[in-house]
Amino acid sequence: MNESLKVQSHHLERGAYLYIRQSSMRQVIENIESTKRQYALRSRATALGWTDDKIVVIDCDQGESGASAVWREGFQRLVTDVGMGRAGIVMGLEVSRLARNNADWHRLLEICALADTLILDEDGVYDPAHFNDRLLLGLKGTMSEAELHVLKARLRGGILNKVRRGEYRCVLPTGFVYNDAGVVLDPDSQIRETIAYFFETFSRVGSAHQTVKVFRDEGLTFPSRLRNQDTTIFRPLSASTALRTLHNPRYAGAYAYGRRRYRRTADGKKTNRKRECNDWLACIPNAHPGYITWDRFQENLKLLEANGRGYDIARSSPPREGAALLQGRAVCGCCGRHFRVRYAARRGKLESWYVCDRASSASAEPSCQSIAGPPIDEAIGSLVAEKMTPAAVELALEIRKEIEARHEEADKLRCRATERAQIDADLAQRRFMMVDPQNRLVADTLEAEWNDKLRALAKAREDTERDRHADRLVLDETIRDRLVAMTTDFKNLWADLSTPNRERKRMLAHVIEDVTLIKLPAEGTTKIHVRFKGGKTETLTTLNPKSSAKQVKTPTTIVELVDRLLDDHIYSEIADVLNEQGHRPGGSARRGKQDARFTALRVAYLAHGYGLRSRHDRLRDRGMLTKEEMAARLGIHVSTVVSWAEHGLVTRHAHNAHAYLYEDPGPNPPLKQCSRWNRLRDRAAVIKPAKGSTPSRSTEGGAV
């Protein structure tokens, strides 16, 4: 059908949209003829009857790929206007200009058919509402997408061919550069030594986070190459940088390509997913010099994987600063999972607990065990000290050498930073000296830059001296002598308070594989099954610490002693006896109550709390009489009974601090006489030699 016959009057009433696009900015700059041909389509629209004011040119997608419409704002505007019925015809030099994606192309055809919009290319005018035209446009769209696929496949095949030989040049991580021979280590010695110290530190501490802490504590910075630049800067080491460095196989001297699979989402964003090592497109070990070996790289990956398995059944975590000695090595004897370590502040100190609550957090089941850490750690420490005593000399010397080597390496890196600051200052000075003195604008700027470099140099020197002085304080002569003294006794090294908990755990890791704990609440003990590295096993038993209530509970032996003393003593006398024998009440176990002593009130509370028979009941069982009963027995007044007891005519026994019971006088009781002619003290003087003993004091316990 003739082009002019397809163009109707209602088409001319709407606009003619000319879509112009090049796939890259390089094509925009170099392929000028293609751009001119696209703009020349305006004359085709004019020839078909559209006026210049009806022609709309959309050329804002220059330099954008036609593989998707997500990032092409011009194409989105075109589709919107077509759907709104504003376009009578859509013009493009060829189908590939509009879209190289069948989904976008057929969506445009469907909307054009619904809106009665024509499509024009270099070959002719098409009506998407007609079957033959739509079939032809669909074939052109398919061929355009296939053309893009073929081009990509050719380029990709050439790249992969070089990749398999290890010759394709990728962006190198910090610490590597390209030269004529290929990949080599960075010629900057500070960069090389810092990266080497990073891997050495990780091998020592066994954790990426701990490596970052070491760099922070020692005031070291880590090199980082700016993106798409050759400039390398030094900045504080972060956890993400540490993990990225540890996972990069280039540092092990291996050529690797295709470690990630890139895809585009529905919104056009590029996402990536990591591939397994076996799925990499290329992995060639020992392809170039590296900072660590390939075996060391594999061990680092396994260690990072073990550190990240926080909720797995079996996990051996790296040593940390906590007091729990078996952190990452204690195994529950009930379920086989590794214990978690919990810390609680009690009685003014931090106590460690081994808790197996993984089943509780996963399926709301009761926790297996909760075991106090101090008794377990003490038993394991004694066992290790006993087993390791023959190797004490060698171990202590190795520790001293390691500390000294670590400080020397850190000092060397600080000196490198100072040298770099000196080079920058000298360069700024040369620039300032070469400038024309008459050009004050440039001279002032270069002078300010020189001053900044000098201040940075002074700060670097000051930091180096300060850190060096701090290291000397750590390794002064006193500490050296102490280390030498400890070489003869490993127990002193293990019990030394200045030895960090992390170092104890590191030493333990070389001796013990794991420790299985089984708590026996009925027996009040915990079974400790130790498995050594060589396969040997040993079983220990420890007493479980008492609860707070049991710690302040009075021992049974003291209760039994109080029960016996109640036969002959009152509460105050019993308190004196207990204090003289060195016994202390249960409350002395509380913080700040170490000096507590027994008192009459404490003894009374103890007797009532444990249901001991009172002294009053004990004396009544022995036939003692009350004051009223004694007065009736002797036929005298109550006050006379008290007076006779004070003078020893009758015998009384105290059952508390101010009350008494009286002994039955028997068949020959004392008789009442006239106190004017026979005074009480005279009668008492006659009775005392007859009894042959002196009565006890009447104001406190005992017989009177």
Active-site residues: which are they? 23
Distance (Å, whole) CA 27 – CA 506: 61
Residue type at 470?
Answer: A
The backbone torsions φ and ψ at residue 311, rounded to the nearest 5 degrees and listed phi first, read: -120, 15
Cα dist from 479 to 400, 470, 489, 498, whole Å: 10, 14, 16, 10
Q: What is the SS3 assignment for 191? A: helix
Distance (Å, whole) CA 285 – CA 528: 45
Q: Are 185 and 174 in contact (CB under 8 A)?
A: no
Question: 666 in the Ramachandran plot: left (φ > 0), alpha (ψ -120 to 50) or beta?
Answer: left
The backbone torsions φ and ψ at residue 515, rounded to the nearest 5 degrees and listed phi first, read: -135, 125
The backbone torsions φ and ψ at residue 615, rounded to the nearest 5 degrees and listed phi first, read: -65, -30
| Per-residue DSSP letter, 441 | H
DSSP string over 517-573: EEEETTTTEEEEEEEETTS-EEEEEEEPPPPHHHHTSPPHHHHHHHHHHTTT--HHH
| Per-residue DSSP letter, 279 | G
Q: Are 542 and 526 in contact (CB under 8 A)?
A: yes
User: Would you call 173 exposed, middle or buried from its count of C-beta atoms within 10 A (0-12, 13-18, 19+)?
Assistant: middle
| Lookup result for tokens 């004196």 | 576
Q: What is the SS3 assignment for 447? A: helix
Q: Among candidates 678, 685, 677, 669, which has minimal Cα distance to 636? A: 669
Q: What is the SS3 assignment for 346? A: strand
**CA 287 to centroid of chain Cα atoms:** 36
| Lookup result for tokens 């032809």 | 136
The backbone torsions φ and ψ at residue 88, rounded to the nearest 5 degrees and listed phi first, read: -95, -25
Q: Are 704 and 652 in contact (CB under 8 A)?
A: yes
Strand partners, 349: 346
CB atoms within 10 A of CB 78: 24
Q: Are 640 and 648 in contact (CB under 8 A)?
A: no
The backbone torsions φ and ψ at residue 703, rounded to the nearest 5 degrees and listed phi first, read: -90, 145
Distance (Å, whole) CA 528 – CA 525: 10
Q: Name the E strands within 171-218.
A: 176-179, 182-185
Distance (Å, whole) CA 104 – CA 61: 15
Q: Are 45 and 91 in contact (CB under 8 A)?
A: yes
